[in-house]
Structure 1
Amino acid sequence: MSADSEMFLIRVPASTANLGPGFDSIGLALGLYLELHGSLSDQWEVIPLSEEMSVFPRDDRNYIVQIAKKTAAYYGKELSPCRLFVSSEIPLARGLGSSASAIVAGIELANIAGELDLTDDEKNRQASLFEGHPDNAGASVYGGLVVGLHTERRTDVVSFPIEGVKVIAVIPDFELLTEDSRNVLPASLPYQDAIGGSAAANVLLAAVLTKDWKLVGEMMQSDRFHQPYRAELVPHLARIEEIVLQEGGFGTALSGAGPTVLSITSIDKSTAVLTALKREFPQFVVKELEIDNDGSHAAILSEQEKKGLEFL
């Protein structure tokens, strides 16, 4: 960026990960967004526009800024300070990729403010290095459904759009930290359980690609890697599974590490599933979420676009 008056927009979708048996490998981008409007400045300043963002530091200690500076440094650049307006629809510590979206936003910030010209593959590699796995980060970068493998040497992700189904989210009124949710997982699995879990993940992907959504739903509930162990932390999971099947939905799974639970339905059954879940869980947020097939976006705003921003 060459002019202090230029303003940019960064928009990053939420994500669900560990989709059914796809532990640390299968994710889906969802239509809740972290947005960042920014411009070059003489010092780092982060101005929250939503309650979710008001709890974080408002200077260069902010996590998004820290990620941006580290990313720029990796490519041999030092970022000029920016003034950032940040808002988010993504609830914190609910299993909807709030941390991954912040990481991707930081990488997008480094890319646009530092003129790094990164490819999506490079963005995803950096995000997965910060995250430690590619399913949340990959979904936020590429959009759609992603399948990935992340190692110290490389990150491989395949992505493709998902259409023709609806996603219903039950978002509880309590947080569940990823660290706490990982602590209930076993250190190892019996060989046959690992084979069964891997086979379920393979069948899930084949079913997605052939649009056999009934089979997708069955595989979502055939996980051997994490859901059986985390169910004790998410007592509403079993009841949601029952209701979704009763109302004609396809299947249900933990979103990320929980406590949010996602269900997939046909378009014509989504209203019935949504209504039944709202009736059963009035204390929780129950909503239909769009699938985001585009992934993260960053662009310089035109003068006309800047005039439409109420906070300026």
Structure 2
Amino acid sequence: MKITVPATSANLGPGFDTLGIAVGIKNQVIIKPSKFHSVSLRGEGSNNPVLKDNNMFLAIFNDFYNNLSTKKRFFRFEFINEIPLSRGLGSSSAVIVSAIASAYAIEGIKLSKEKLLNLALAYESHPDNITPAVMGGFNVATVQDNEVKYIKKEIPKHLVAVVVVPNRPISTQLSRKTLPYKYSKDDAIFNLSHGSLLTAAFMTENWEMLKIASQDKFHQSYRMKQMPELFEVQKMALKSGALMSTLSGSGSTLFSIAYRNDAKKIETVLKEKFPHFKVFTTHFDNTGVKIEY
């Protein structure tokens, strides 16, 4: 079987820990019966010996598989990773979602996406990455009584993502420590109003509103100061025609949305200006996690 999970971009500016969107690049795990346990890894992280055994995936998979199955079986896990590690594109969420989905699929137990999402919540307490990873599309999500409550909106094909991946990470844990302990009333109102406007813009497909609606005062500037060139990436993306440009999750990736016809120009400008960063254009994923036999 093959389990595919898309990359995700969380926060989208003002939607701190609340808004997320699924992006076209993906991680795949192919699982085959085997006479003994084995793991192979291709793509992102393949040169990192620590990740060769993909310990996070196997730990979560084994937790569920051992509870669901009475059989002792061995598998070959083949990981094909497109999602950059520790760059704010939801690589951890992809691992969590694929591990849980794999354990259920191997046992032939039907698992709804809603249940999968809520099982993933035990490993990722914020719903902004795991929700689009499971559901695809743009998602507004919150947690109520240990359950994710969400609304999804599919992204039309004439919109694409222009993604800039720096050559070094920003630690999620460390970047959270840079954030203020308290926020002013004015900043709270600013983010509440812009997050609401951003959600409304997605739901009504008012794409011209995204540039204004995606402004933030809660986290972006504090995190981007750890890598000051990100301010210039954001500025150049918007100047070149991006509809919005925000820090992806806690970074270091800078994520922009553009009309398909404008994307090539934006990508070319960013590649020329930032040759040491990886720049690419990709579609959005409206499907989320996918299991194929």
Q: Secondary structure at 1:263's aligned position in 2?
A: strand
How far is the alpha carbon of 1:152 from its aligned partner?
A: 5.3
Residues 30-56 of structure 1 deviation map (CA, whole Å, 9 limit, x = unaligned): 111111111233443222233514534
1:12, distance to aligned residue in structure 2 (A): 0.9
| Distance change (3 Å), C-alpha of 1:14 and 1:55 | farther
Specify the code of the residue in structure 2 equivalent to 1:169: V
Instruction: Indicate the larger mover: 143-152 or 128-137.
Output: 143-152
The 8 Å contact of residues 46 and 57 in structure 1, kept in 2 or not, is answered as: no
Partner residue, 1:122: 115
Shifted more, 152-161 versus 85-94: the winner is: 152-161
Partner of 1:5: none
Q: Which residue of 2 aligns with 1:306?
A: none
Gaps of 5+ in 1: 1-7, 301-312
Runs of 4+ in 1 over 6 A off after TM superposition: none
The size of the alignment, in residue pairs, is: 290
1:181 equivalenced with 2:175 (yes/no):
yes
Is it true that 1:236 corresponds to 2:245 in the alignment? no
Equivalent of 1:247 in 217, 240, 243: 240
TM-score normalized by structure 1? Answer: 0.87
Aligned residue number for residue 26 of structure 2: 33
**Match of residue 211, structure 2, among 210, 217, 220:** 217
- Aligned Cα root-mean-square deviation (Å): 1.9
User: Is this contact kept in 2: 1:144–1:294, CA < 8 A?
Assistant: yes
Give the one of 241, 249, 252 matched to 1:256: 249
Q: Distance in 2 between matches of 1:25 and 1:238?
A: 23
Partner AA of 1:217 in structure 2: K
SS state at 2:261 partner:
coil
Distance 2:115 2:208 in 1: 35
Q: CA deviation at 1:242?
A: 2.0
> For 2:242, what is the secondary structure of its paired residue?
coil
| Among candidates 195, 200, 206, match of residue 201 of structure 1 | 195
CA distance 1:55–1:289, change in 2 (3 Å)? farther
1:67-82 matches, cutoff 5 A: 67-72=60-65, 76-77=68-69, 80-82=73-75
Cα 1:157/1:275, change in 2 over 3 Å? same
Matched, 1:169 2:134: no
1:160 counterpart (140, 143, 153)? 153
8 Å CA contact 2:10, 2:19 repeated in 1 = yes
The Cα offsets for residues 263-305 of structure 1, whole Å up to 9 and x where unpaired, read as 11122221211111111101110110211111111121xxxxx
CA distance in 1, matches of 2:267, 2:51: 37
Q: CA deviation at 1:249?
A: 2.0
Gaps spanning 5+ residues in structure 2: where?
none
CA distance in 2, matches of 1:25, 1:81: 38
Report how far residue 105 of structure 1 moved: 1.0
The offset of 1:77, in angstroms, is 4.2
Render the CA deviation track for 1:81-134: whole Å, top value 9, x for unaligned. Answer: 321111101111111111111111101111211333110001111112211111
Task: Tell me the residue number matched to 2:59.
Answer: 66
CA distance in 2, matches of 1:154, 1:34: 25
Quick one: percent identity of the two aligned structures?
31
Is contact 1:12-1:295 (8 Å) kept? yes
Distance in 1 (CA, whole Å) between partners of 2:155 and 2:51 is: 36
Counterpart CA distance in 2 for 1:226 and 1:43 is 46
